[in-house]
Every structure is written in structure tokens, then in C-alpha cells.
Structure 1
Amino acid sequence: MKSIVIALMLTFYASLLFAEQMPTTWLQNPSSLTQAIENAQKEDKKGIFIFITAEKCALCNYMQTVIFPQAQIANFYQQNFINLQINASVTTSIINFENQASTTTTVAKQLNSEGKAYPLALFFNPQGTLLYSFSGITQNPEEFLWLGEYILQEHYQQQSFTDYKQARYVNQPTKTGNSQAFFDVTFGDLQAELQTAKENGKQGIMLFFEMEGCPFCKRMRDTVFTQPDVQQFYKERFLIFPIDILGDVELTDFEGNTISSKVFSQTINRVRSTPVIIFYNLAGEPLYRFTGMTEDAQSFIWLAEYVLSGEYQRQLFKTYQQAKRNP
């Protein structure tokens, strides 16, 4: 099992979910956003979707080459939205939503007023009012379909997309890979992920060190990581990545060094047996290391609380857990 999800693996995973692919011709480069409003109303679309990308953006490229070419994605979004794409790095003329002459770089900045990281998916109603913005990528094409449904069914008014997505996974118990929803997608740059964690209001990064054939790793994945309470609690507070301690996949560690996941695991972090869970703060410094599997899902939540509260500096986790079970 590879721990760092690189583009080739994501492409393969996507192909398993959606066999038929289509060129990304359904995303148009607009010359006028007011024309998009007119088209949405004339064609009775349910909204306007704008994808903001940038040059040298690996995550943008992932969405464009892995997610968007899928036939089910194209059909769903074309049926429901006017679909546009703006490159924030390229300056061309465009009419903005206020029917004023502008440039694509200026419009991109205006639409991204909160300064979120690219890629950025923006959903507007047919009148051009922003409904929801989504920064980053989805782990697979199915999640991007769910994002569109999340908007159309107005779930964004009641719950976060993370909660909505987790509920969808829970309602698919027969599908493989439910534990994968616990993990975040990364291109292997842990130093960059620290900045992503800060920008998304996370409290740290959790790494799950595992190896193929490890029964305790599998049990954690099958019985703990699949639980909706666990997914919600951890994903609200951490970026979470699996690490294969025997893998040769290159990654960039927290200090900017390019090494294999095997070296990162066995030499840098001295992981010999699995599973091992290490919590890091937003400076990339290890806070706490837990070896083995937790007793159950509730114990795993307590483990995170133990770290975040700073109790790991004052007492053993065994003592903390016993106090939780027998208050």
C-alpha cells in the first residue's frame, strides 16, 4: 500500500470509479460574466460554476486531468450549471459580474476575496450571487459529484461539506475504501501541508505509519477510521496522511528535505513496527507518538483530545483513558 498519494495513483483510482472519460471541454474561458448570468437564466440552469486555477499549481492540474474529464462529472455539471474557468495567472480581458471591463487576474482576486489557496471552486446562483466556495481538491470524482449535489440541495446552508461527505460515505457501507475518507490527499510535500493546515484552521498534522500485511493497521482502518464520529473529529482538527514505512515514494519532509517514505519512517522517525501514530504541531514538531492500535473508536478520539489538551505532558495516555472511561 502506498502511503503518499501521487498523481499517477490518483489517476488509477479515478479510472476504477469512472471508466469513461471526456475531454474537459465543458469548462469555458469566459469573456463576460454578465453573459454567463444571462445564459444561466435563459437556459434555466440552477447556477454558475467557476473554477479558478493558476500556473504551476499541481492540485489544479490534478482536478483538470483526473476529476474533470470523467463523463459523469461533465454530464452532471453541464446539466445543472454554466461552467467557467479562470486562470488567475494569465491576464486577459473580461466583463465582470457588475458589467464592467476588467481582467481575469483582477476578477480572480475579487472572487477570491478571502485569499484561499488554489484551486478554488465557486458556486453562484443564476443571478450571480456567491453561494459557496471550495478550496482544494476532492479525493475522487464521486466526491466532486457530491459537491455539486451539496450545492443544488442547499445542504451548504445547514452543514459543512466535510460533514455531508462523511454522511455519504457512511451510507455506502459496502464500498471499499471508506477508511480512505479519513485521510487527506497530498502530493507528498509535508512542508507545504503545514501551510495548508494553517490556512484551513487546523491544529496540527497526524501521520499514520503503516505497512502492507500489518493486521493491526488493517483493524484501525476497518474499525476505527471508518467511524463518522472519528472522521468528523479528526478532520476538523488535523490534516491526516498515511505513510508506508517500506515505501520508495519520494516525499518532502517538514524541513524541506526530499527523501523516500521508507527513510522518513525508519531513519528520521525510527518506526520499525506498525501502526505508529505521530501528532505534529503547525511548526512540524512532533508532539506525541502512539504505538499500536487503540481499544476502539472512542479511545482514538480521546487520544486526539489527550494531545490537543496538552495532557500528554502531564500523564500517561493509559491513565488519561482510564479516567475518561471511569469518571
Structure 2
Amino acid sequence: MHSLNAPLLIKHQKSAHIALSSSLGSLILTVLLCMGLTGFVAAEESSAKKGEFLGAMDTVYPDWFKVSFMELEEDVAEAAAEGKRLMLLFHQDGCPYCNAFVEKNLAQKDIEDTLKTKFDVIEFNMWGDREVVSVEGKTYTEKEFAKALSVQFTPTVLFLTEEGQLALRLNGYYGPDRFRHVLDYVSNKMEGEQTFTDYLESRTEPASSKTLINREYYTGPITDLTNRSGKGDKPLLLLFEQGSCKNCETLHDKVMSQPESQELLSRFDVFQVDMWGRDSFETINGSKLTGREWAKELGVNYAPTLILFDADGTEVIRSEAFFKSFHVQSMMDYVTSGSWREQPSFQRYISARADEHREEGKTVNIWD
């Protein structure tokens, strides 16, 4: 009997085993499917949480710009033969400041006419690969050329003399009114007579220092920077300003008032300098100068200009044109985080910072 029932028992055991295996298989499959769906949903949620990127603008550059073979010695000579000077414009894709330069500045007929009659304008993509031969005869790609010239912002504009020397450089966007002064200064070849700062002083009425904007984040009145409280521990931020300054008001009311800006400012010793002031003080290197003397020595010709130093007083970067919140905050973070020591390109740094913010679910608006 045992021998007769053994196959049946084995059959039942096999059936039970198959049923159990089938049940386990179904359970495992269900679990795996659920896990897969959960992962898919999580991935979707993660993707959905990535912050937006706003403010980038496409720009079409004027067809009256010079079509150049990018051999700058020849371009300088050709411009000089026509009684013109050469203007080099560095830009990048999506740059809202470049867009403002084209659509606000170059849209002004008097500015366009001045550029057409007195300059040859050549545009460069700071990340481009077109071949460029410098005035000195050295061959670069566009991005190598931008790096060699330490282009940190766009637009960056270089005006060259008839000999191919630098007449004036703009690191960032100037509005139409200030840009008109630039064109007058360069087209009339005044760089040999006076600095651009002196030129501006002679043509504008410096406002009274009594109207300078006062804010609670200033470390104190500027008297002796050699003995500032945070020397050696905190980086230094200098704000060169003037009275009755619309751009200064915008900086303080729209940019520095933001919580993120306030937190970044707390990491600095912050001092305000009257760029036309006549009161003297000790500068970071121990010289006794007035505000206007120091502004001239440092080449400050835009209000507000922000100059950022490390804790030991070495200049790291400066903002000397019109910039909005994300760029100003990124400059402050660039210094306080120490990122400038590892990444010399501010543009690469700010791009990486924008990506990090978006991965954290934050919206990045480069034109807010």
C-alpha cells in the first residue's frame, strides 16, 4: 500500500509545491510591480519637483554688425582706414543682459547711427568655437579668447584704438544713457586725455553725499579698513555709490532686501564708499584717500559698483554694471563659499549654482 500511495503522495506534494511556487511567484511579481510603480511615481515626483529656469532670452544680433574672418589685426586696420574704431561684443546664448543691450540700446536710433558711422562691431560667443586670431597674432577659439581676456560677464564690450590697444572695457550691461557717454568718450579718442571716471565727473553733477542710502547691513562708517572687525575672518564687500542714484536704490530695495541676500550679506564686512566723497580714510592697503581718489585709483566709473575681497583683502570679483538678484547673490556666494579658489570662471560657477538650486526644487529667475 505504501508503494501504491507513494506516487500519489508525491503527486500531491508536487501539486502543493507548484501551487505554493505559483502563489509565491505571483506575490513576488506583485511586489516587484508595486516597487517598479513606486519607483516610477517617485521618479516622476522627483522630476516634477525640479525648479523652473526663467529669464533666459534669445537675441538676434543686427545684420549691420561686421562679417569678420576674426583676424583682428586686419579688422583694426580696416576700421582705421575708414576712420572708425573696433568694438568687440562678447555674448552668450540666453543672456537677458545681452538682449537688453540689443533691444534697448541698439534700438535707439542715435546709438545705432553712432555705431554704424564710427565703429566696426564684431560679435563673439564666449562659448563658441570659431577661430580667432588676436591683434598679437595668436590663434584661439572664441571660448579660449574669452578666457584669455578674463571675460566673466555678458555682455562684455571692448573698444580698441587704431593701434589695436584697449581704449575702454565694459564688464556688463550699461543702459542707453550711460552707453551714450561711452560712445562719446571712445569715438572722440579721449582715453589719452582723461580716464572715463574723470570724463563722467566733468559731464555730470555729482550728487551730495548727504543723500547716500543708509542701510542696517553696513558694518559701520568707513574710517580705517586696515583695522576692520572681520579682517582675516570675513570677506569684505565695498559698495561704491553716489547720491540720487536710481540704480543704487534698485540694488538696495529690490536685491539686497531679499532674505537670501540678507543672509549672504551677514557673511561680509560691508562698507559704503561715496565715489565722489572728499572725506579721507584708511584703505585696505593703508593708504589715506578720499572716496573719489580711491574710486579713481580702482577704476570705478559706475554706481553702484560692488567690489568683493577675500578675508585678507585680495579682490576676487566686482560688479560694475547693471545686474539683478541672482547674479548679485551668486557673486556674494562665489566669494563666501570659497568657490572662486577652485573655479576661476564665474559663468561656469553661476551655471552650476543655478542647476543645484533647480535640483533642490527652487525656481531660478536670472532676470528678476
Q: TM-score scaled to structure 2, two decimals?
A: 0.42
Determine which structure has more spread, i.e. the larger CA radius of gyration: 2
Q: TM-score scaled to structure 1, two decimals?
A: 0.47
